[in-house]
Structure 1
Amino acid sequence: MMKKTTLFASILLMGSATFAQKYDPIKGALLTNNMAEAHKLFNKESASEKFFSKPEGYIIKSYILAFDAQDSAKAADAEKNREAGLEAFNKYKEMDPSMKDLDTYKNAPYQLYASYFNSGVSDINAKKYEEAYAKFKNVVDLSDLLISKKIYLPGPIDTNAVYYAGVLAETNKHMEDAVKYNTRLADLKITGNNFEQVYQSLVRYYAGKNDDANFEKYRKLGKELYPQSEFFNYNKLDFAIGGSTNFDEKVAALEKIITASPDDYKANLTLGEAIFERLNRAKEGETKPANAAELETKMLTALKKAESLNAAELQPVLLMGDHFMNKASEKEEVMRNAEKEMDKKGAKATAADKQAYADAKKAYIAEYAVAAESFEKAADVLGKLQQLDNVQKRQYKVIAGNLAQYYFVIGEGATGANKTKYSALEKKYDALYKSMK
């Protein structure tokens, strides 16, 4: 039994050695750049499955296909040859992770690298960005291998390949991949005119992720390498405000900042301002958001928090006052329509007509009362200032006018001490309003 096993093994070894000799003529043709002869020999020998029993068979195949992919006479088949060449090279690496034959056949990965790079650039010029990105992923992988094996490319990385891969990843919205490529460049402090966007991309990404550590790391690095760029002076709140024109994205970004820093006055105020604009100053053709009630709650929470953090600042209370003043104006229109209906019917106005008017007036006063509460706070602050600038004067005049009107309205139905109180307040604010030039 032992003799048979040994004999069988000897036969296998002899067969393998015999077939291995088939590679040598092809190798010789490749090394002398006699591609025609190499093709001829390869086509003959590779017809046998045994040709691919050893890793060398696959790297020879990769070598030939890589050169074919670069051959302008075979341009029509370049894509097919390039893909098949890479597939053969990957099979070679799988069969022999040590890649002991690589020095002999080093042109195989290098020509694949060159072919993918050139084709990727052509795709960029043709605005075929997804196709270009797929190619540059291969370019980076091949360049990393070439650098690690010290084949033609200097290290530590192929900056152009990694740069293109990162830009294309971001263009195609593969942000995790973009971060991977951009981080490689940034951590090596690669610099130059085109590379500023690498650092900008990382800063924007980590601002959106609310990752303070990495946001600051790459913002400071960008500032160090590009000191003249205003971009790296922006803080996280700046990115939350200006990073997107989409309202929902902006709100979500601001909420992330507030969750991380609940006592950030500017973040709370900015969130309140953003929602105020959406609810009260809709653009032409813009409909009221379906979640208006939810947004109002978020806005008021943010503005009240901002007010509590800095009572000297008027913007939070002014926004709340204006918001409820707008709501009061909507209720006032309903009230005026109900009043017109009663006036039109005269003596024939029904109890239902009168109740509709009473309910509408009650709703109007309720909203106005909330607005007045904020305006009273603002008036108190402004009244204590030694000198008002022009903006503050305009604000004070509007506030005084709104408060005079409010006390007139609630004073109409008041009696006794309340009548006297509301009348006095109406006169106070009316006089203040008229004194403002």
Structure 2
Amino acid sequence: MKKVILLATIAAFSTAGAYAQKYEDIKGALALGQTDKAKEAFDKNSTNEKFFTKPEGHILKAAVFASLAVDSSKAAEAEKNRTEADAALAKYKEMEPDMKLLEDPMYKNAPYNLYAAYFNAGINDINSKAYEPAFEKFKKTVDYSELLIAKKIMNKQMDTAAVYYTGLLAENTKHEEDALKYYTRIADAKIKDYNGTSYESVYQGLVRHYATKNDNANFEKYKALGKELYPQSEFFTYSMLDFAVGSSSNFNERLASLEKLLAASPEDYKANITLAEIIYDTLDSRKEGAVMPGNAAELETKMLAALNKASSLKPEEMQPYLLLGDHYQLKAGNIRNEMVTAETEVTKKGAKATAADKQKVADIKKSYNEAYDIAKTNYEKAAEMFAKMPSLDATQKRTYRLIAGNIAEYYSYKIEDAKAADRDKFVALEKKWDDIFVKLR
């Protein structure tokens, strides 16, 4: 039994020695630049499965095929050779995780040639506008650059250009999370430019990404880095609100962005007032031919909630009161048109007017009075603020005058149905606001 074991051991050493020599033969041909000869020797010897019992068999295969992949005379076979080399190197790493054989100068060429092969192929794809395949190749390029840097084969901290182009390709091909990964590496290293290429778009992309995610911490982080590296750029002065409003010209998209922002920051005064303003511009548009949206009631509810929230957050701010006053003034005007139509119908019918006809008039008038009352209340709050200002510019004076005129008209209307005591009060208030209106002319 001992003799059998000894013979088996001797046979194993004999096989290992034989294949070690075959490895050296292939390596020798590669060292002399005789890639075809190395490939021929590899094809001859690798048919025996024992060739791959050692990790060296796989890295040797990677070295042969990687060398073929960068051979310009074999461009037609480049993709096949890259794939073979890539798979062989992956198998080698699986068998020898520390990749110690990369200390051998000849084997260092395997990952380096693969790096070059994927980079060049990626550039060719870019030139052909094949951006998705280019992205996949540049991902491999970055992976190999990291291996080369880790093994000190490439003397740099980061292959900046490769990382940048991979991020750019990821962004252009809608691989958002991949773009984020590559751009973050550049930004966290505070790299401003490389070989004359500015990387401002990297920082802009990160700021824009975190704005859409309502991630205020990272938004402020990369905005600050961008401001530090590109102090002349206006982009890095924009707020989260600016992105919510300016990211689209589409009303529904802007509304959705603002609602998302408010969900994260409900106490943000500017976000509340901006939400109210864009809805106001839609519901109470002065544009010719403007059409009331089908969900006007829903939008009005959102606008009023935002205005009431804004006024509670900053009661000293006038804008919520002005918008509330204008909205209810316009609303009252629309209801008044309905009221006039209903009253006209009752007048036409005369004695034939039914109790239901008269109740309809009464209900519309009640709605009109309620809207008009709210408009007046908010106008008075804004007017009180104007009255306390030490001086008014032309715009402020014009707005105050319009408000005074609207309030005077309100009390003129109230006089019509008022009883004696109330009538005198309303007459005095109408005169007060009419005097202010005249004074501001």
Q: Same fold (TM over 0.5)?
A: yes
For residue 435 of structure 1, report the CA deviation from its aligned partner: 4.4
- SS class of match (2:206): helix
Residues 113-262 of structure 1 aligned to structure 2 (within 5 Å): 113-151=115-153, 153-192=154-193, 193-245=197-249, 246-256=253-263, 258-259=265-266, 262=267
Instruction: Output the CA distance in 1 between the equivalents of 2:127 and 2:411.
Output: 69
Contact 1:257 1:267 in 2 (8 A): no
Contact 2:247 2:254 in 1 (8 A): no
Q: 1:4 to 1:339 in 2, by over 3 A?
A: farther
For residue 137 of structure 1, report the CA deviation from its aligned partner: 1.3
Contact 1:241 1:254 in 2 (8 A): no
List per-residue Cα deviations over 1:249-287 (Å, max 9, x = no partner): 43135315524xx2x433433333234334433987776
- Aligned pair count? 432
TM-score between the two structures when normalised by the length of structure 2: 0.86
Q: 1:285 to 1:384 in 2, by over 3 A?
A: closer
Q: Where does structure 1 lack aligned partners over 5 or more consecutive residues?
A: none
Instruction: Output the CA distance in 2 between the equivalents of 1:231 and 1:341.
Output: 59
Q: 1:110 to 1:122 in 2, by over 3 A?
A: same
Contact 1:254 1:271 in 2 (8 A): no
Match status 1:334 vs 2:343: no
Q: 1:45 to 1:386 in 2, by over 3 A?
A: same
Of 288, 302, 315 in structure 2, the residue corresponding to residue 311 of structure 1 is: 315
Contact 2:245 2:254 in 1 (8 A): no
For residue 163 of structure 1, report the CA deviation from its aligned partner: 0.9
Greater shift after overlay, 391-400 or 345-354?
345-354
Counterpart in 1 of 2:293? 288
Q: Percent identity?
A: 53
- SS class of match (1:156): coil
Counterpart in 1 of 2:36? 36
Instruction: Output the CA distance in 1 between the equivalents of 2:150 and 2:42.
Output: 29
Contact 1:210 1:256 in 2 (8 A): no
For residue 6 of structure 1, report the CA deviation from its aligned partner: 5.0
Name the aligned partner's letter for residue 132 of structure 2.
Answer: E
Match status 1:63 vs 2:70: no
Instruction: Output the CA distance in 2 between the equivalents of 1:83 and 1:38.
Output: 18
Greater shift after overlay, 42-51 or 426-435?
426-435
List per-residue Cα deviations over 1:352-395 (Å, max 9, x = no partner): 22222222222222222222211110111112333321111221
Greater shift after overlay, 142-151 or 207-216?
207-216
Q: 1:84 to 1:354 in 2, by over 3 A?
A: farther
Counterpart in 1 of 2:89? 89
For residue 26 of structure 1, report the CA deviation from its aligned partner: 1.5
Name the aligned partner's letter for residue 100 of structure 1.
Answer: K
TM-score between the two structures when normalised by the length of structure 1: 0.87
Q: Where does structure 2 lack aligned partners over 5 or more consecutive residues?
A: none
List per-residue Cα deviations over 1:116-151 (Å, max 9, x = no partner): 212222333343333222222111110011112222
Name the aligned partner's letter for residue 288 of structure 1.
Answer: P
Counterpart in 2 of 1:366? 370
For residue 314 of structure 1, report the CA deviation from its aligned partner: 1.3
Contact 2:255 2:275 in 1 (8 A): no
Instruction: Output the CA distance in 1 between the equivalents of 2:47 and 2:65.
Output: 16
